[in-house]
Chain A
């Protein structure tokens, strides 16, 4: 089980507590997470399933490279963090 955490900025809009999620890739982890929190999907992904332009996901502190297919590997001990890019004013 990967440990998944979403940014507090997102927690203003949706209640998504820290949780443990199964999955061997970022896509699988997200699919399971969206099963539990369906409204989270449109906050993280664009219409066709790619990562939103200004959203970033870290797996064990490494930025996810495959932003379209989300194929980066996830293992049982991974920490997955979903957060926003730092921009705007």
Chain B
């Protein structure tokens, strides 16, 4: 098991040896790495090279060479369109691979792309892109909407849920031929009037599915935390201490009652509550939470954890999260005790366990 840490200035691979986690490989040093996708035949890395745009590279298992892949490419915007969002790739913001080998990529400005072979190009999911509700969406943290979560179904290739900031949660049951805009029960108190419950402008920060019970999904939303037990159709609000605001959530791989959140104060103050880093864990479906602090800094700590920067391994015991201040914390007992693996990395964008 490896731990891939994508940062503003490189990709760091960690492995466990001699009782602790250590960096064993550094790639793309100096370049922004948005996130990576480990899979059985290699590692795909999404870079954001700033001047030169988003890029995709792949390294085969056992190789040290990175191959440049095609990036998703948007079609021309119709000349009659008055849409403000540019139809142009700004960031690759999620990457997953289905059981059938298909690669899925979520992007800013909100498009979902698929391919069997990312060396040959990608296809935009027009069924989702052409939905009129998309024009109601707006950016969250970036100028344009972004598709950041792709929750594939562990048993049914044709079912998936994707989440867009700020454009709601979408479900397909026919492999992307059609989509339904879901989200009953979600709400955004910061939005005016009827927009509070409008599905098309909800801001899910991250959505994760429980592999053992695919109908269970967990969401960290701009307005709080939510859980669904019916495949994302309806959602219940959760009261997460010490704050329901945050970006990241991890779903327990085998226990649909368990999940972890990393709270921050609130929208306009994105730091840990009282400068003390903590993780909130539920083991009863979100009815109650434990606040886990052992091994985490509790004074003047201003780590913020981005939406892709928390992950759990297949056992449900090992978790890792990285912060905007370059700290990386790991637990091997489900969160009861944490250890700082590094306090000196570049700002962390994403962490992910993989082969």
Chain A interfacial positions (CB closer than 8 Å to B)? 9-10, 13-14, 39, 42-44, 46-48, 52, 54-55, 84-85, 87-88
Contacts and interface: CB of A to CB of B under 8 A. Distances in A.
A52 B51 contact: yes
A88 B73 CA distance: 25
A9 B55 CA distance: 15
Contacts of A88: 50-51
A10 B88 contact: no
A68 to B, nearest CB: 12
Interface string B87-126: 1110000000000000000000000000000000000000
A70 B165 CA distance: 34
A42 B49 CA distance: 11
A47 B73 contact: yes
Contact of B51 (A14, A47, A55): A55
Interface of B: 49-53, 55, 68, 71, 73-74, 76, 87-89
B88 A42 contact: no
A29 B76 CA distance: 23
Contacts of B73: 47
B52 A47 contact: no
Would you call the interface of chain B mostly helix, strand, loop, or mixed? loop
Given A48-B87, A48-B88, A85-B51, 18 more contacts: A9-B51, A42-B55, A43-B53, A44-B52, A46-B88, A47-B73, A47-B87, A47-B89, A48-B74, A48-B76, A52-B51, A52-B52, A52-B53, A54-B51, A55-B51, A55-B52, A84-B51, A88-B51
Contacts of A39: 68
A42 B53 CA distance: 7
14 contacts: A10-B52, A14-B68, A42-B52, A42-B53, A42-B55, A43-B52, A43-B55, A44-B52, A47-B87, A48-B87, A54-B51, A87-B51, A88-B50, A88-B51
A48 B73 CA distance: 9
Contact of A84 (B52, B55, B76, B88): B52
Contacts of A85: 51
Contacts of B68: 14, 39
B114 to A, nearest CB: 17
Contact of B53 (A9, A14, A46, A87): A46
Contacts of B51: 9, 52, 54-55, 84-85, 87-88
Nearest to A10: B52
Q: Lowest 4 A-B CB distances belong to which pairs? A: A84-B51, A43-B52, A54-B51, A47-B88
Contacts of B74: 47-48
A84 B52 CA distance: 8
B252 to A, nearest CB: 39
